[in-house]
Chain A
Amino acid sequence: MAHHKISVTVNGSVESVDVPSNMTLLTMLREKLGLTGTKNGCTAGECGACTVFLNGEPVNSCLVLAVECDGAEVRTVESLARNGQLDPIQQSVIDHNAVQCGFCTPGVLISARALLDRNPDPTEEEIRDALVGNLCRCTGYIRILDAVKDAARVGAAPGTGGSR
């Protein structure tokens, strides 16, 4: 298997990583960079647990090859809190108790953050559209929906979280 030296900015820091051609972004994050917050739920792009930002867009990192990320900017769940302060969407998920086992949570947070970044005032239908690819087997979704609605309602600009 051919290996490639890539340079990728992950959560703000530039990383030089040696990756085999067939390694996914997900595996690179978890195994090469030790960022285990991003979870592997299905390796098939179905569940959304591995969602991360790639150049500002939410992607299933199990469907992206690491070599495709040469020169790219990646952000994971570990980057949502700034200086220890939770992002408003993280705080809202806690406020609404929208977590049970926690395995889907990182992906849900990234998809929700991505939605609020491009549409700070989404309708319920828009929230459902944006998060339909993030499955959750525990909660039954109602609290996830409420958490995203509420984060939008309080004006969820990143970096203002943790105050409520």
Chain B
Amino acid sequence: MKNVDMQMHVRGTSQFVDDLAAPAGCLHAALVTSRVARGRIRSLDLAEVLAAPGVVAVYTHRDVPGLNEVGHVLRDQPLLAVDQVEYIGQPLALVVAESHQAAWQAAALGRADIEELPAVLDPREALAQGMIHGQKRILVSGDPDAAFQTCRHVVQGRLASGPQEHFYFETQRALAVPTEHDTIKVHASTQSPGAFHRHLAEVLGLPMHKVELDIRRLGGAFGGKESTAVWVVAPALAAFLLKRPVKLVLPRNHDIATSGKRHPYEYDYRIGLDEEGQILAYEVDLYQHAGACADISLAVLGRSFLHASGAYRIPNIRVRAVSCRTNIPPNNAFRGFGVPQGTFAIEAAVTHAAEVLGVPAAQLKRKNLAGDGDVLPFGMVLENTNSGRCWETLDARVDLAARHAAVAEYNRTHTDSKRGLAVVPVCFGISFAQTALNQAGALVNIFVDGSVEVSTGAVEMGQGVNTKIQLVAARTLGIAPDRVRVHTTNTSRVPNASPTSASTGADLNGMATKYACEDLLTRLRRFAGQHLGHDDPEQITIREGVVHLAGKPTELRWEKLVAAAQWARVDLSSHAFYATPNLHLDPKTERGRPFAYYSCGTSLTEVWLDCVRGTYRLESVEVVHDVGRSLSEVIDRGQVAGGVMQGIGWSTVEQLRYAPDGRVLTGANAYKIPDLKSLAPHFAVTLLENSQNPNAVCNSKAVGEPPLIHGLGAWFAILDALRSVRRDKDLPSLPLTPEKVFMYLHG
């Protein structure tokens, strides 16, 4: 089934936050932000701001009625700075004006007298100075020190991966409308209904039942709208203080300059193998470049940490991970949530080892591929991974040996250009690693005309979760999907909802929807039995909107059944709740089963490299991914293709630059995301056939994040081509922009 919003999207009638008709008297908010990366605030001079045309009010931390705090996990992020600044772009004051333009022009006039302190912009330096968030984490499995002694080959190196800007098309925004009894309604572009609801209430000093957060759809999010609440809370604060509607729409360059990114990491790795290429030991240090506040960084770090072994069976391992506090805007969630970084390190280590052993990297990867029955470093036993089957399916489609031979032959006969390839296996744990977040509620209402309305905590951001939920409801109730409408995500209908993230939106909210529908179905079957003069509800089913008795259709249709049931005083509304069972992780021992299941796949990426100019082009991307029994193949294929392209962007062209003072230099004109010419001439997605998954709704598997990892294939394929030219250099960093490729070749 198609995305339910598509008809509106092509007509231009779908509504995002900024498309809602502005309420009468609506004002616009903007932020005065710090131009200094680190320092003590002596004073703020906001007189010019207040005097600027159209300005209605200017607020500082002193005007916050509740808690001046929006830290997502730790309480370390003031909404408006108090006495110190920790990054360029940190909000100092809130400006409210008659128009968007007036507000942002006035905000630029804000001045702060700040005693500058030396900013720390390097994660290793931050660590050396003891500037870290939370605690270092260490995971040891087996005996790596002893194992390294027995290795025939030991390979080590240093690596780095860069930040990635989300570049969701709809920037951060919210519209806040004061309502009666000192309540407030906020329409926001956020993935986190429950957490942002709480942030709003805390900052306004209100009980949560006086705040209503409503979310229709997001113009993309990719993790960037999960944890940083500033841009939703700020307009609500202004609306609450002024008793007028206030909207904040972050201008693109302000969004790029002040919002969080995918975390840059630095890595030290060491890998040991035996004569046959079996990995015996692996050791990795992960230095996360987290930014000024903890935001959600420790959770991201945790996921890198738990995925340090990537898709491989590694009997002896030591992982050390630390979140380094640096003076850049706090980095946050981005599709993959630390797994791409953890995977990058082990993929690089295995690739480096293959070079030393003189064998194709794919050979080592296949040999060490983790599969069912293998134990992960934190003690979880893999099951139902289909990792080997994904690999074999890919091999059957592309003939890996032949592809390797073709690349080798090309490279033997060409000097000014080279080809390269990479096989990347993906193994991605599904569930929030924080067990408490694995819960969801759903409210399903059946109206007397037979129409059905579903509310959940899931946020539609283009990933098609509403369509999947609609399908689950229709399938469970035995009616056509067009009888079901998925309502906005609203904190008054479904409270305390977890963020729509960690690829779990459909898993959790779909299951809660299924339970609520099953509950309603039980009531309706019982009633239908009585209505038809038949006592055994087991004999009653509903199929295609018709009540069946003992498998045969009756005269009783859905809308008649529903109307009669309501008249007979049957409750046609149900709320249900789902909590993923059997999840646990002991933070002391770093052992447990934090994930419900794994999402696996394998891909082949091939590139062509111009050795003179340093330019390259992707020739072919072939992806095989396991999505279980897909809830919607159309949606899942789209998720795979889009995720892979984002991973390719991170690996190749997306480069964010900071000035020496910590300013982000790359605005919308300089930060490049993939365009239509980035699409490889051959790009194919295969969903693994005959896959079942008892651990998620309707046997499906989550699809949102894991495919992004396949995009790493672009980096490794370019590397493969580069290493066929010269190997007398260290591995370059990620992304491999044409500039870096040129410098590698000729520098």
Contact = CB atoms under 8 A, between A and B. Distances in A.
Q: Are the chains A and B members of one assembly?
A: yes
Interface of A: 22, 30, 34-44, 46-47, 49, 76-78, 80-81, 86, 90, 93-94, 97, 99-106, 109, 127-128, 131-145
Contacts of A30: 18
B12 to A, nearest CB: 2
Interface string B215-239: 0011110100000000000000000
Contact of A81 (B11, B15, B170, B463): B11
Given A100-B642, A101-B169, A137-B222, A128 B676 contact: yes
Contact of B12 (A37, A142, A143): A37
B642 A93 contact: no
Given A101-B217, A101-B220, A141 B678 contact: yes
Interface in B201-255: 217-220, 222, 251-253
Interface residues of B, number: 55
Contacts of A141: 645, 674-676, 678-679
A101 B679 contact: no
Contact of A41 (B14, B252, B253): B252
B42 interface: no
Nearest to A107: B169
A101 B646 CA distance: 15
Contacts of B7: 94
Contacts of A140: 641-646, 674, 679, 683
Contacts of B638: 97, 100, 138-139, 143
Contact of B667 (A44, A106, A134, A135): A44
Contacts of B462: 100-103, 138
B3 interface: yes
Contacts of A42: 252, 668
B5 interface: yes
A77 to B, nearest CB: 4
Contact of A43 (B9, B16, B251): B251
B669 A44 contact: yes
Contacts of A35: 12
Contacts of A34: 21
B168 A90 contact: no
B19 interface: yes
Contact of A78 (B12, B167, B673): B12
Contacts of A36: 12, 15, 18-19
B601 interface: no
A128 B677 contact: yes
B634 interface: yes
B6 interface: yes
B524 to A, nearest CB: 33
A106 B220 CA distance: 15
Given A41-B169, A141-B676, A97 B634 contact: yes
B12 A77 contact: yes
Contacts of B6: 93-94, 97, 99, 102
B255 to A, nearest CB: 9
A142 B12 CA distance: 22
Given A90-B10, A102-B14, A137-B220, A46 B668 contact: yes
A119 to B, nearest CB: 16
Contacts of A47: 169, 668
A126 to B, nearest CB: 11
The 4 closest A-B pairs by CB, nearest first: A37-B12, A101-B462, A140-B645, A102-B9
A49 B169 contact: yes
Interface in B132-174: 166-170
Contacts of B345: none
Interface in B1-44: 2-3, 5-16, 18-19, 21
Contacts of A105: 9-10
B5 A37 contact: no
A105 B217 CA distance: 15
A30 B18 CA distance: 10
A105 to B, nearest CB: 5
B461 interface: yes
B16 A103 contact: yes
A111 to B, nearest CB: 10
Contacts of A43: 251-253, 668
B307 to A, nearest CB: 23
A128 B674 CA distance: 12
A94 B170 contact: no
A78 B253 CA distance: 28
B464 interface: yes
B253 A44 contact: yes
Given A42-B252, A140-B645, A145-B679, A90 B169 contact: no
A105 B707 CA distance: 23
Nearest to B707: A140
A139 B12 contact: no
A133 to B, nearest CB: 8
B3 A97 contact: yes
A37, A94, A136, A137 pick with most chain B CB within 10 angstroms: A137
A30 B7 CA distance: 20
